Amino acid sequence: MSQTIDLRPMRVLVWPCYLMAAFLISMPLLEAFAAIASFRPGEMQWRFGSTGILTTALLTPPIGVFVALVTARIFGHRWVHGVLIGFAIITMVALLVMMPMFVLDALQLRDDVRPQFYRSFHLAAGKVFANQLAVFVLMLAFAIASFRSMRNAQVPASPAASRARVAEPAAPLLSRAAR
């Protein structure tokens, strides 16, 4: 048995959800770019540090992508899925460029690290690489989900069509006596 939920009253949440998604995606990236504004790609230490800063900043945008993806799916906004796919692809390409360069810089920079700091250096480099890999996998998953959702999304033809069908739980969470 399923019940119909009218989503029309929830439409007031659409723009705040997209605004929150935009902030979660853009603000960490803007802060990271401001932190690495002294563009010195010829210096290995700068590349290593800036990659770490950018990678750390990339941990929050997937939350914004998720918020936008869910909002777009619920309300049938196909164009948002296209934007999310584009953002995910750009992020994945950037990570595919950054990951091998970071590994090479870490291997070269390791010779300049004092022996008592090897452990900290390896942990920091490993954390950055693991973060890059995690964000890559998340963006790939979001791109696939967005593509499938965009392909399956149906534009509501009428206000009555903007109602979602949700399955009821098999058993009530609280018995009537407990209420």
Per-residue pLDDT of the chain (179 residues; tens, 9 = 90+): 567 777 777 888 899 999 999 999 999 999 999 999 888 888 888 898 999 999 999 999 999 999 999 999 888 888 998 999 999 999 999 999 999 999 999 999 988 889 999 999 999 999 999 999 999 999 999 999 888 887 776 555 444 444 554 444 444 444 445 44
CA distances from 130 to 28, 38, 84, 93, 127 (A): 19, 26, 23, 16, 5
CA distances from 155 to 2, 58, 69, 152, 167 (A): 21, 32, 16, 10, 21
Per-domain residue ranges for the chain? 2-165
112: which 2 tokens? 């300049």
pTM above 0.95, yes or no: no
pLDDT tens per residue, range 123-141 = 999 999 999 999 999 999 9
CA distances from 63 to 3, 20, 138 (A): 29, 10, 10
